[in-house]
Homo-oligomer: A and B are copies of this chain.
């Protein structure tokens, strides 16, 4: 129940971000829905395919499809208000990243993978929905260009494996790791922390 709630919240957060990108590209109603859908389930589906957990989750649980459908309708209706709310959208997206990173790690553990690969799966779950969204919209994925996004997933995800060694209940470590991913991204944006520039020598 706990993990399920987290999963649905992440789905809503990512679906909203998908609708906004698709509407900037002036896609039609179906296009907007598909972009919202792949943004929300793309990372998780790629993860499920890579570990061989098929049929993928959303085919078995219609709740994801209907959640995304409802989110798309509400986002389109309330979009004129949303555009004054860039901050809350950024928050939504960041919360989605935190939630999905840990969902992905959990699935990796269930599949018996090593911690390093669990963190890789968590990062894929959190970031590849956005990558597929950007590819479908004919853009170079935004996370390859300017955001401390995956770094937050990797460090926050790794922290989960450290926290698990402490004598807390697993749900606390889980929540704490989600908060670490979220705060790392918020702090990075606030203090404009970026990855080291690898192009310095080219100047």
A residues adjacent to B (C-beta < 8 A): 22-23, 25-32, 34-35, 45, 49-52, 54-56, 59-60, 62, 65, 76, 79-80, 111, 113-114, 116-117, 120-121, 131, 135-141, 143-146, 149-151, 194-196, 198-199, 201
Contacts and interface: CB of A to CB of B under 8 A. Distances in A.
A40 B76 CA distance: 33
A136 B145 contact: no
A145 B59 contact: no
What is the predominant secondary structure among interface residues of chain A facing chain B?
helix
Contact of A56 (B50, B146, B196): B50
A136 B141 contact: yes
A112 to B, nearest CB: 9
A52 to B, nearest CB: 3
Contacts of A117: 59-60, 62, 65
Contact of A54 (B31, B51, B76, B149): B51
A50 to B, nearest CB: 5
Nearest to A59: B117
Contact of A196 (B29, B80, B195): B29
For the complex of A and B, the 8 pairs showing the least CB-CB separation, nearest first, are: A52-B54, A31-B144, A29-B195, A27-B144, A51-B55, A138-B140, A30-B150, A28-B195
B138 A139 contact: yes
A28 to B, nearest CB: 5
A167 B77 CA distance: 42
Nearest to A30: B150
A145 to B, nearest CB: 6
A42 to B, nearest CB: 12
A117 to B, nearest CB: 5
A137 B136 contact: no
